[in-house]
Structure 1
């Protein structure tokens, strides 16, 4: 006869059986009203949603070894340091907003020691490079700000500030709201928190972008205003603050995306590509004075991101208005991300011939040969096509006239220089920082085209969701899904209190945890390795 003890190291993550569950582990649930989740660039995880479901590993005590007093003293100091490090790591993972807050407070405290422009930290908290007013300007004229390397300090500090606000808002405000709304799985809570924070952020920054744009020649998405008066080397305080703050937001998003330790989502590659293109556009547009163009691109994406995030939130909450709101979101996405951005893209067309003049002339001669050949083919087919064209002209005269004018319109379009080349100066001069030339035209067009292709891919996925809604007659259905297939291991139902208890048990003291586990467990009597109750049951 022997004694055995059994205890759990941490609370079980398995959810209790559902009242509406069946015996085979399946349960009936309502499908999402949208029959899918709208894709987009608002799916970047946060530190809070990456680490909150990972229980910290229990500390394993090392075997006791005999040593002299001096070595024992050094060993105790090392264990104390390791214990402090483990506690700090545990607190940092449970409260991901704490370290960014400490860094921000340290920076502010160091600045308050000498609150002046001589303090190196002044450029981290406030705008740098204020320009003196021009002669004859009134004293109350708005101050202009230039650009320089110290702007990186501003972006870096507010990247940390945004990390704190994102993590604190999600953990302390949005998670309780998600639980109160009935979202019990970790995955659903995480997605709700991410989208809710995105909606809050762009709910402020979207209207702010329109307000800032109204103070510039770009209002309302005026493409000529992007090029007039180039180069735009100085800006109002509102414009520069908005531009750099947005740069800090996307830098913070990119850092968290690169640190993501969760399973990549379906459109992870497209999301990474979108962020790389966005960061490249932000840096190049600011450094080479295309900030007015960047301001328009910012605004179109911010407003559409707000509708995207709120549409996802309503979908998670299974709101009855999710379908009509989804239609509103789809229209805003199509108008802002495609119609407006394609207008900006077309202002860069046609692209100039990048080769020396002799080579350009050869290329143009080849193109003219193909054009004349096409005209001869059309003329040869005229006896066959003329009756058809005449008949169609009687029914759709305007459409036929438009189609017939396409060749001439195309020739005129490609023989006319772009707005990028004709509005404002068009030359490369490093001394005057004049960068609006054929090289920047190709680079800008390539980046904006890449961004447009990513948005078109997402728009295709959004239209697929719309098609499924139309095919189903905008009706919601019930379906039976396996609990194991629907909920991933990382999304087991667990409340916030259970999660905190799980983590606190994990980082508890080494020996203390073992002693409590041993004292809380009940001894069992075994007969040949089988518990007595079970053995008696078999005997009966």
Structure 2
């Protein structure tokens, strides 16, 4: 495998799993494609396939088969239903009368609202909730399309056959794609602001941040949409939760609370810094695990790089932000509670901000402990089994014949 570990090769020629790069630390939620498939769902699929093979003698039978075929196709290609809803929404917006209630509703969903006339700045309001909801659906489509049409065929082409590993590969490769975009985008937005590079004082000297330019607003609400989509799918994952399910749920709850509170109470510059620490480290994490699934010789060295990035961003920078909440939150800028002027940097918000970021830090610290255990196993060359990973010995093997059959 990676990093020169001496792993025994079983008689069947397959390599034993290595926990380096495979730890579930900070995993995003499974997609609809990679969720556990129950026996009931498989029986339903088999029943639909059987019904499609029955003889059709009437027009009613043909219509019935069309409905069954659509249900089976959308079961296998999970991107179809969200795609149809997106197409319906955009089409309704385009063909509806300007100024009508339906047009304004879909406009609020699709296009950022509250542009301040005569400037490049955007305010905040109730329409932002509609925007987040629509793009949560958009992320569902993008993720499922990539899973079904790009990443699963890629996994098979790369020789990954075990079902659990195929699903993990798909999840982590998609995470590489998302965080590979959101991380640099966040850094680009930060570079245009006084808080580059993770300067904390501007959080408070320029507070409150009522408005933002288009890129900042779309980025921030896009992050909210991404995490809302992740949380909804996580709630749906009720049949077979992973071993890190409680930590994952807590992480999602804290993240959603941070996003909403920071946006509503104008702490978005601080929120941007936290987003970047999460996204960049998650990119390195997902890349490390993806390398492991394809048996890259760079898995071990890259995992060590990931550990350094994780410590710097998730701990050093976040602790720096926490320290600023204790030391600069009160002393820099105005310090009062005024609902009319929306001045919320006060004795109430300080412990709330510290508590939310501190809770995130505790989750990260727990994950760091597990990361160090994996790193120790890699360095000393001892046990490489990650007890936090689900047992894959009984998972089904995904054969190319089955995939070809499903894609017919």
* TM bucket, shorter chain: 0.7 to 0.9
Instruction: Indicate yes or no: 2:123 matched with 1:146.
Output: yes
| CA distance, structure 2, for counterparts of residue 433 and residue 179 of structure 1 | 54
Whether contact under 8 Å (1:52, 1:94) holds in the other structure is no
In 1, the alpha carbon distance for the partners of 2:167 and 2:291 equals 15
Counterparts of 1:497 and 1:197 in 2: how far apart (Å)?
A: 24
Aligned partners of 1:346, 1:40: CA distance in 2, in Å?
Answer: 25
Of the three residues 278, 302, 322, the one matched with 2:279 is 302
Matches within 5 A, 1:355-504: 418-472=327-381, 486-488=392-394, 491-499=395-403, 501=405
2:325 aligned with 1:348: yes
Match of 2:244 in 1: 267
Deviations 1:9-62, CA, capped at 9 Å, x for gaps: xxxxxxxxxxx986xxxx464233445722322342110112678524244999
Aligned pairs for 1:44-55 (under 5 A) are 44-50=29-35, 55=42
**Partners of 2:220 and 2:120 in 1: CA distance:** 16
> Does the residue aligned with 1:347 lie in a helix, a strand or coil?
helix
**Which residue is 1:39 aligned to?**
24
Residue 446 of structure 1, CA deviation:
0.7
Q: Is residue 261 of structure 2 the alignment partner of residue 276 of structure 1?
A: no
* Contact in 2 for aligned 1:232/1:290 (Cα 8 Å): yes
Q: Number of residue pairs matched? A: 381
**Is the Cα contact below 8 Å between 1:32 and 1:316 reproduced in 2?**
no
2:75 paired residue among 86, 93, 106: 93
Distance 1:192 1:318, change over 3 A: same
Residue 126 in structure 1 maps to residue 116 in structure 2? no
Task: Measure the CA separation in 1 of the matches of 2:78 and 2:406.
Answer: 17
Question: Cα RMSD between the aligned structures?
Answer: 2.7
Q: Quote the residue 1:361 is aligned against.
A: none
In the aligned structure 2, how far is the partner of 1:317 from the partner of 1:158? Answer: 32
Deviation (angstroms), 1:262: 4.8
**Structure 1 32/423 Cα, relative in aligned 2: closer, same or farther at 3 Å?**
same
Residue range with higher mean Cα deviation, 36-45 or 243-252 = 36-45
Counterpart of 1:181? Answer: 158
Aligned partner of 1:110 in structure 2 is: 92
TM-score, scaled relative to structure 2 = 0.86
Are 2:221 and 1:244 aligned? yes
Q: Is the 8 A contact 2:123 2:211 kept in 1?
A: yes
CA contact under 8 A between 1:48 and 1:171: conserved in structure 2?
A: yes
CA contact (8 A) 1:128 1:151 kept: yes
Runs of 4+ deviating beyond 3 Å: 32-36, 51-54, 58-62, 79-88, 114-118, 499-504
Shift of 1:91: 2.1
**Partners in 2 of 1:47 and 1:318 — Cα distance?**
26
2:136 aligned with 1:171? no
Contact 2:208 2:343 in 1 (8 A): yes
User: Which structure would you say has the larger Rg?
Assistant: 1
**CA spacing shift, 1:29–1:262, aligned 2, 3 Å:** farther
The residue number in structure 1 matching 2:170 is: 193
Cα distance, 1:463 vs. partner? 0.3
Task: Give 1:287 shift.
Answer: 0.5
> Would the aligned equivalents of 1:282 and 1:294 in 2 still touch at CA under 8 Å?
yes
Per-residue CA shift, 1:320-362, capped at 9, x if unaligned? 111110011000000000000000011122xxxxxxxxxxxxx
The separation in 2 between residues aligned to 1:177 and 1:115, in whole angstroms, is: 44
CA deviation digits over 1:88-128, x for unaligned, max 9?
43222111000111011111111111485763111111110
| Conservation of the 8 A alpha-carbon contact between 1:116 and 1:122 | no
Which position in structure 1 is the counterpart of 2:3?
none
* Contact 2:28–2:230 (8 Å) recurs in 1: no
Q: 1:213 to 1:194 in 2, by over 3 A?
A: same
How far apart are 1:433 and its partner, in Å?
0.7
Answer yes or no: is the 8 Å Cα contact 2:21–2:300 preserved in 1. no
* Conservation of the 8 A alpha-carbon contact between 2:113 and 2:122: yes
Instruction: Provide the rounded CA distance (Å) in 2 between the counterparts of 1:149 and 1:496.
Output: 48
Cα 1:147–1:486 shift into 2, 3 Å: closer
Indicate if the aligned counterparts of 1:39 and 1:461 stay in contact, CA closer than 8 A. no
2:308 to 331, 338, 350: 331
Corresponding residue number in structure 2 for 1:353: none
CA contact (8 A) 2:26 2:367 kept: no
Q: Render the CA deviation track for 1:68-106: whole Å, top value 9, x for unaligned.
A: xxxxxxxx97x8887665444322211100011101111
Question: C-alpha separation between the residues in 1 aligned to 2:43 and 2:169?
Answer: 24
Offset of 1:229 from its aligned partner? 2.3
In 1, the alpha carbon distance for the partners of 2:109 and 2:97 equals: 12
Distance 2:285 2:196 in 1: 24
TM-score by length of 1: 0.66
Cα deviations by residue, 1:138-181 (Å, 9 ceiling, x for unpaired): xxxx6110000001111111111111110001110111110011
